[in-house]
């Protein structure tokens, strides 16, 4: 697939990560399946994408302050889905001339950097840049105009699995996207051997009390399966000083002891939002 992009027209939209990603999609023909991220990178003047085993890094970008050309290095130890996300992430560092490299060797991004989201409290410049690159990466890889089918119907991790497959992204990235845009109050909790690693929360989700390394009560692990949604005790997960809510959890058991749990919070008198609210969230914010 050959991709041609008018870079000036894209950069004319400004620095907002979502707008930049949408400007790229505006120039692409409607696509099914995975977004052709390598072809997009080439069309945006990335001369070379190399892959080699990296320690402590997921990706790096070497470019000039003018951003006329760039080359990107990806960690070949990570799977294809992660490499696609990392490439998309580096593209924002390239397209946003206000992003500053942290070392003389260029931009160097770790797996922790790739987890930062705009929901996190971002105090320093580096973390803010990383969070913006992640916003852009997911907007580019999972354009909003194609997400409606995954956010409709009953809340279920099966939609996350389907989304990951459709867009050729990791289930982790798909789960973060799902809770970001879903009309219900959701959080995606990532565990290893039932111990908490980190979580991504929807914007109205109550504050989690659980911390890294803590044991989570996730029920019986059966690799390759998705549990049903079961009620869990809010006290096990949430800070106490919040409006009372009902909390339920569903877990996807993956390989190597990894799991993704979807937490759903509902006010006791809440029937949940309708589809109008979902649509509002699609079009909300920037297009208004």
Binding status of residue 58 toward Zn ion by CB under 5 A: no
Tell me which residue has its CB nearest to Zn ion: 109
282: burial class by Cβ within 10 Å (0-12, 13-18, 19+)?
middle
Q: Which is nearer to Zn ion, 87 or 109 (CB)?
A: 109
CB-based contact 128:113 (threshold 8 Å): no
Q: How far is the CB of 70 from Zn ion (least distance, A)?
A: 13
Q: Which stretch binds Zn ion (CB under 5 A): 16-24, 127-135, 252-260, 274-282?
A: 127-135
CA–CA dist 252, 199 (Å, integer): 14
Q: Which is nearer to Zn ion, 120 or 156 (CB)?
A: 120
CB-based contact 5:126 (threshold 8 Å): no
Q: Which stretch binds Zn ion (CB under 5 A): 106-114, 118-126, 164-172, 219-227?
A: 106-114
To the nearest 10°, the Cα dihedral for 61, 65, 67, 70? -30
Q: How many residues bind Zn ion (CB under 5 A)?
A: 4
Q: How far is the CB of 62 from Zn ion (least distance, A)?
A: 13
* CA angle (32 as vertex; 36, 96 as ends), nearest 5: 40
CA–CA dist 244, 241 (Å, integer): 9
CA–CA dist 17, 35 (Å, integer): 17
Binding status of residue 188 toward Zn ion by CB under 5 A: no
Binding status of residue 72 toward Zn ion by CB under 5 A: no
Q: How far is the CB of 27 from Zn ion (least distance, A)?
A: 24
Query: What is the separation of C-alpha 130 from the centre of its chain, rounded to a whole number of angstroms?
Result: 12
Binding status of residue 132 toward Zn ion by CB under 5 A: no
**Both tokens assigned to 19:** 């707008």
Binding status of residue 40 toward Zn ion by CB under 5 A: no
Q: Which stretch binds Zn ion (CB under 5 A): 21-29, 34-42, 128-136, 140-148?
A: 128-136
Binding status of residue 137 toward Zn ion by CB under 5 A: no
Task: Choose which of 73, 133, 163, 238 interacts with Zn ion (CB under 5 A).
Answer: 133
Task: Choose which of 130, 139, 184, 185 interacts with Zn ion (CB under 5 A).
Answer: 130
Residue listed under structure tokens 């973390």: 127
CA–CA dist 41, 168 (Å, integer): 16
Binding status of residue 263 toward Zn ion by CB under 5 A: no
Residues that bind Zn ion (CB under 5 A): 109, 113, 130, 133
């Amino acid at each position: 697939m050959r991709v041609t992009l008018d870079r000036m027209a894209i950069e004319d939209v400004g620095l907002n990560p979502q707008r930049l990603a949408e400007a790229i999609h505006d120039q692409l023909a409607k696509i099914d399946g995975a977004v052709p991220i390598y072809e997009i990178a080439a069309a945006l003047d990335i001369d070379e994408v190399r892959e080699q085993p990296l320690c402590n890094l997921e990706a790096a970008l070497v470019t000039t302050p003018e951003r006329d050309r760039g080359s990107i290095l990806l960690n070949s130890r990570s799977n294809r889905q992660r490499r696609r996300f990392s490439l998309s992430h580096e593209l924002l560092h390239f397209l946003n001339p206000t992003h500053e490299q942290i070392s003389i060797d260029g931009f160097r991004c770790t797996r922790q950097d790739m987890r930062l989201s705009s929901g996190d409290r971002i105090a320093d410049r580096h973390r803010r840049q990383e969070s913006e690159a992640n916003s852009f990466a997911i907007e580019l890889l999972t354009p909003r105009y194609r997400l409606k089918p995954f956010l409709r119907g009953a809340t279920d991790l099966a939609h996350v699995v389907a989304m990951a497959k459709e867009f050729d992204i990791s289930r982790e990235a798909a789960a973060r996207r799902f809770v970001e845009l879903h009309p219900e109050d959701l959080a995606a909790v990532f565990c290893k051997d039932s111990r908490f690693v980190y979580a991504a929360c929807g914007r109205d989700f109550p504050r989690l009390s659980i911390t890294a390394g803590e044991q989570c009560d996730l029920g019986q692990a059966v690799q390759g399966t998705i549990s049903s949604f079961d009620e869990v005790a809010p006290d096990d997960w949430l800070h106490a000083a919040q409006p009372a809510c009902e909390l339920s959890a569903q877990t996807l058991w993956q390989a190597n002891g990894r799991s993704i749990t979807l937490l759903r919070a509902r006010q006791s008198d809440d029937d949940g939002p309708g589809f109008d609210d979902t649509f509002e969230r699609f079009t909300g914010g920037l297009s208004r």
